[in-house]
Chain A
Amino acid sequence: MASPNHHERTIRKILIANRGEIARRVIRTCRQMNINTVAVYSDADADAPFVREADETVHIGPAQAKSSYLDMDKIIEAALATGADAIHPGYGFLSENATFAEKCEQSGIIFIGPRAETIRLMGSKIEARKHMQQAGVPVVPGWDGHLESVEHALSVAEDLGYPLMLKASAGGGGIGMQRVENAEQLKKIFASTMQRAQSFFGDSTVFLEKWIEQPRHIEVQIACDRHGNVVHLFERECSVQRRNQKVIEESPSPFLDETQRKDLCETAVRGARQIGYENVGTMEFIFDGNSQNFYFLEMNTRLQVEHPVTEEITGLDLVEWQIRVAGGEPLPLSQNEVSKSGHAIECRLYAEDPRTFMPSPGTITTLTFPAQQEGVRFDLAVEEGSRVSPFYDPMIGKLIVHGRDRMQAIAKMEQVIAELQVKGITTNLELLAQVMQNHDFRRGEYSTQLLDRMTGGI
């Protein structure tokens, strides 16, 4: 895998091709590593905290993401103009765009993430399934070929048995999938799902997977260097979701015993090794709540939103690892040097009504933090007076706590939620508080259906 571009290189300046809390998060680590930062920003973010906190800034266009944060050429131009050695893509936007990774490399800029070919491979859910199977990683029972027609889909579905999930191969993160109860419904939605896949992802390929009952989403954090070292940084439990989007994550998972944890994490390492992965990444698995079997779902070839829970239990800085590995250094630790302690929980703060999901853009008139407390961390995009614009994701930040055990972490989170004051916009704080008090959540016995049950479902 060695190529002339892969020599060790000192990174002195990083352009962050992102915004909000993750841009601030990357800036924080860069500062500790004595690396200069360049923020790029749209019209909507001119006054945002991340812009003020960067060493240099480049305005890249109007509010709409496709003309700013998704405009590859403008971002690369900004990197070249400011003399940045590397680009950190954060999550979302261009972070899993293989073409962007290629363009960076062609411009002599380090893309802080895996190789373009790996991003492309894992971007196809069908290809990802095939490669994982080759590594002996279990995948959800399903069909790995292309479904050519509705007749073809019906016959495959008959063999697999309903209920099923019809998924876009180019989709991911819960977007572009639909539960199918029977042949009648499959007939009805097949064409429209293909069409949606085409218009959302530019690829109409769809496939079928068996529906897993009482599913839990558990993912494994992986880190790899270009010298062949692969380690896992344990798992994250991500089953508290709304509309297939994560809301609360924790580590360790209350669901796994030590044997299962070891099995899961080693399986993930095997999968990452199989595809010659580089940098940090996450292997997502779905657990069948009834059979206790786990299956590979997808790989996220970037830093995750919920990486702080892993940082809190391991004491590591994942952004630092990303930068070191991208510069060609070996991983800072070997597997037996990685350890965890205590329990961490992250709650995503959304600017939306938790019941209707109605987004709530506006100005944050009051933002009051809880009295400083040990083991509490805020990764926020906003501060008092910030405008939450309607153009981007409703997630405005994350509340993270670390306790010596799960009950202490829950107690800390309850206190944080009770004391944190956000006024001027509607947030999901009240729902977060209810989850912390929920009996099933407290017992650690919950599936991805928890939130729907609590809010009366949709």
Chain B
Amino acid sequence: MSEKKSIVSPLPGVFYRKPGPDEEPYVKEGDKVNAGDTIGLIEVMKNFYEVKAEEDGIVVKFSADNEQVVDAGQELAVLEQED
């Protein structure tokens, strides 16, 4: 059995999937992540906040695109936990 969980944006802002414009994404769909791994950044008022996976699992889907404008609480990605 597996459980799906949303990773949501803590703040309104702009979502980035990579650390810099010319760099590789932190995580690709289907990648395994551990609790505490950074999956993206939210830019709010010229500050960047790391969005982290709260648990181990597989990022099965990104619900927001790179550079998409998002609201606080909006789903950014879906994490599937295996047990």
Contact = CB atoms under 8 A, between A and B. Distances in A.
A64 B69 contact: yes
Interface stretch (A25-33, A70-78, A81-89, A391-399): A391-399
Interface residues of B, number: 15
A159 to B, nearest CB: 32
A63 B21 contact: no
B57 interface: no
B20 A393 contact: no
Given A199-B20, A199-B21, A394 B46 contact: yes
Interface string B16-30: 000111110000000
Interface stretch (A330-338, A351-359, A364-372, A403-411): A351-359
Contacts, number: 37
B20 A391 contact: no
A108 interface: no
A390 B46 CA distance: 8
A150 to B, nearest CB: 21
A361 B67 CA distance: 18
Interface in A48-64: 63-64
Interface residues of A, number: 14
Interface in B46-65: 46-47
A63 B45 contact: no
Interface in B63-83: 67, 69
Nearest to A396: B45
A361 B14 contact: no
Nearest to B23: A199
Interface of A: 63-64, 199, 351-352, 357-359, 361, 390-394
26 contacts: A63-B69, A64-B14, A64-B69, A199-B19, A199-B20, A199-B22, A199-B23, A352-B45, A358-B11, A359-B11, A359-B44, A359-B45, A361-B11, A361-B12, A361-B44, A390-B12, A390-B13, A390-B44, A390-B45, A391-B13, A391-B14, A391-B45, A392-B45, A393-B46, A394-B45, A394-B47
Interface of B: 11-14, 19-23, 44-47, 67, 69
The 6 residue pairs across chains A and B that have the minimum distance between CB atoms: A199-B20, A359-B45, A394-B45, A390-B12, A390-B13, A359-B44
